[in-house]
Amino acid sequence: MDPSILTFDTPEAAADACGDRILDLLEEARKDRGQAAIALSGGSTPRLMFQTMAKRPFDWRGIQIFQVDERCVPPDHALSNFRMMRESLLDAAPIEENHVHRIRGELPPEEAARLYVEEIRGSFHLSPGELPVFDVIARGMGPDAHTASLFQGEPLIGDRSGIAAAVFVEKQKSAPHRVTLLRGVLEGARHTLCLAAGGEKAEALRSVFKGPFDPLQTPSQIASPETVWYIDKNAAALL
């Protein structure tokens, strides 16, 4: 099934629409199952969306918040995805601390990954080998079409049975060590919302939607059955 694309005039409009859809999906999930689980990406684009979500009159009770990926830096570091999430959402909305599941970027990468997998297994009550099913996974995309911390040529893109792992991204000089959810978890989400804005994402989006299907080369082609892209008109320029 082709992911659908919603195009907005501005990055703000795309972020607002994506954030509102996320809250609607979490509400539906909680109605169905009493609670909901979401994994949020980092980077810079989601900040606007998180600020919008925090302002909405949303009841956060029963919502478990996880990270899609994290740079292996302390949680107060300028490059920390958790720091961005804390500043724009967690500190601004009534979210219980024990409902937030942080990747411990301050630890050695393999240790951080192991602990994160353990925490996910415990939260989802997984049997050995079972993958978590997130109600929503909110993803972004780099100008090189990476998503999560799965970058072009990353061998782990072929791993569809693991939950999360440490990766080393040579070209990300400022924060090469990362922990990321793996492809099988991304593909298993009930809903995936991808937010991308700005002309610097246009070429990557063209390769996602018009290039050959090859997630090893174009990781943002990784998708779950219900995937919707929220983009602005500049990012849509080559579609």
Residues that bind ligand 6PG (CB under 6 A): 41-45, 68-69, 71, 81, 140-142, 147-149
Burial letters for 196-208: b for 16+ Cβ neighbours within 10 Å, e otherwise?
bbeeebbbbbbbb
Q: Are 3 and 194 in contact (CB under 8 A)?
A: yes
Q: How far is the CB of 68 from ligand 6PG (least distance, A)?
A: 6
Q: Nearest-CA neighbor of 21 among 187, 190, 193, 140?
A: 193
Pick 27 or 144: Cβ nearer ligand 6PG? 144
Locate tokens 């195009």: which residue?
A: 7
Q: How far is CA 201 from CA 13, 115, 163, in A?
A: 16, 33, 27
Residue closer to ligand 6PG by CB (options 64, 67) is 67
Nearest approach in angstroms of CB 79 to ligand 6PG is: 8
Shortest Å, Cβ 111 to ligand 6PG: 19
Q: In this complex, which beta carbon is closest to ligand 6PG, that of residue 64 or of residue 147?
A: 147
Alpha-carbon gap, residue 69 to 7, rounded angstroms: 25
Q: Closer to ligand 6PG by CB, 62 or 74: give it.
A: 74
Distance of CA 13 to CAs 17, 20, 137, 148, 171, Å?
6, 11, 20, 23, 31
Report yes or no: 140 and 44 within 8 Å, Cβ to Cβ. Answer: no
- Which residue lies nearer to ligand 6PG by CB, 140 or 215? 140
Least distance to ligand 6PG, CB of residue 173, Å: 13
Report the nearest approach of ligand 6PG to the CB of residue 137 (Å): 11
Interatomic CA distance for residues 222 and 160, integer angstroms: 11
Q: C-beta of 24: minimal distance to ligand 6PG in Å?
A: 22
Q: Which is nearer to ligand 6PG, 62 or 176 (CB)?
A: 176
